Amino acid sequence: MNDLIQILSVFALSGNAVRCEKTGEGHINCTYLVQTDNGTKYILQRINTAVFKDPVGLMNNIAAVTAHIANKVASPREALHIIKTKDGQLFYTAMGSAWRVFDYVYDSICLQSPDTAADFYESAVGFGTFSQQLLDFPADSLSETIPNFHNTPDRYRIFREVLARDPLGRAAGVQAEIEFMLAREEQASRITRLLENKQLPLRVTHNDTKLSNVMLDASTHKALCVIDLDTVMPGSALFDYGDAIRSSAASGREDDRDTSRVNLRLDMFRAFTEGYLRACPGLTELEKELMPLGAFTMTLECGLRFLTDYIDGDHYFAVHREGHNLDRCRTQMKLVTDMEDNWQQMCDIVKELCK
Ligand code: GN1
Ligand code: MG
């Protein structure tokens, strides 16, 4: 606590920090809610520099993107705002980590799972608006904060590398999971190929579009802004759309041990698709047509990443119990299977909403 207060004293806050409490549920960074002696609130975050190896590039990305958005919105609550250090830096290095501060978005909430289709529709509006606001931002000027983040063929390359090393001898116990992933490699690599040959446009993408990364107004539940901009990079709109379906259109938890509880909710699929299409009318015909493939690809890729980390000895995702990454992998497999079983319905919903 005292160390954190010390770190906070470096930033240009209104008042002096007096309280700092852990908040949020991310697997990667640590987030704290800060209060100063005049009652102002802020968000302090420790950037995980093992994952984000270039905090300078990362913070420059966030500064450029949030400034671009701030120029387009009516209220400051609709754009995230970085609080610089007293000497004008975007972050501060201490205790072996990079630290940054954001304005707190007052009277806002973020949801962990969609209680209603209306809330999920609004979160789609949040992410769709983000894409739309950044259509005229030069995507290729951004740093790749995690190179090849949603390059699915490259995720397969890493998977094979880890499988060959099999440092803890875990591969033998997960043969069914390994086969599941390998059987779908070609289909899961299509979006990356289409980006590479420019059939899909390169856009500014958020790349981590879980529901809890959209701030909603606490009373109206209307979308305000999106947060967690560390993975903002050049990419495909299908990454953003697909990862939202993966993370929030499913029943059950991402780490549910009982995968019978994990199913694709077609009502939620419809709600998100509708909101995203409304808020981001600039999508191409091919992007719209491939929305179900976006959902499939992001889900399979995430499952592959969990399985890779499990076999590798759980170095990347924070784990809280034995086999945690394997449980997560299995929920993603169940969801992929469910998408395969409901493929025609997914395509029909997209077609209907595009009319
Ligand atoms: C990680 O830390 P968090 O929960 O925002 C991961 C995402 C995964 C997600 C799965 C930088 O996100 O890609 O989809 O876990 N973020 C990074 O829960 O790897
Ligand atoms: Mg994240």
Domains, the chain, ranges and CATH? 2-105 (3.30.200.20), 117-354 (3.90.1200.10)
- How high is the pLDDT of residue 25? 73
Does ligand 1 come within 6 angstroms of the Cβ of 228?
yes
**Nearest atom of ligand 1 to the alpha carbon of 298:** 14
**Nearest atom of ligand 1 to the alpha carbon of 230:** 11
- How high is the pLDDT of residue 207? 95
- Pocket probe for ligand 1: among 23, 25, 27, the residue whose CB has the most ligand atoms within 8 Å is 27
Residue whose C-alpha is closest to residue 91's, from 115, 127, 55: 55
Amino acid occupying residue 122:
E
Q: Which long-range contacts (CB under 8 A, 24 or more apart) does 317-325 make?
A: 317/27, 318/27, 318/28, 324/255
- How high is the pLDDT of residue 65? 97
Q: How far apart are CA 133 and CA 149, in angstroms?
A: 22
CB–CB of 13/36 below 8 Å?
yes
- Pocket probe for ligand 1: among 28, 211, 317, the residue whose CB has the most ligand atoms within 8 Å is 28
Q: Phi and psi for 32 in degrees, rounded to 5?
A: -130, 145
What dihedral do alpha carbons 125, 128, 132, 135 form, nearest 10°?
170
Does ligand 1 come within 6 angstroms of the Cβ of 24?
no
**Nearest atom of ligand 1 to the alpha carbon of 146:** 11
Spacing, Cα 209 to ligand 1 middle (Å): 9
Q: How far apart are CA 307 and CA 321, in angstroms?
A: 15
Spacing, Cα 151 to ligand 2 middle (Å): 17
- How high is the pLDDT of residue 29? 84
Residue whose C-alpha is closest to residue 64's, from 127, 128, 133: 133
**292: part of which helix (H) or strand (E)?**
helix 291-312
Per-residue model confidence as pLDDT tens for the chain (355 residues): 689 999 999 999 999 999 999 997 777 889 999 999 999 999 999 999 888 999 999 999 999 999 999 999 999 999 999 999 999 999 999 998 999 999 999 999 988 888 899 999 999 999 999 999 999 999 999 999 999 999 999 999 999 999 999 999 999 999 999 999 999 999 999 999 999 999 999 999 999 999 999 999 999 999 999 999 999 999 999 999 999 999 999 999 999 999 999 999 999 999 999 999 999 999 999 999 999 999 999 999 999 999 999 999 999 999 999 999 999 999 999 999 999 999 999 999 999 999 8
- How high is the pLDDT of residue 28? 80
- How high is the pLDDT of residue 124? 97
Q: Are strands 92-94 and 82-83 parallel, antiparallel or unpaired?
A: unpaired
- How high is the pLDDT of residue 114? 84
Does ligand 1 come within 6 angstroms of the Cβ of 7?
no
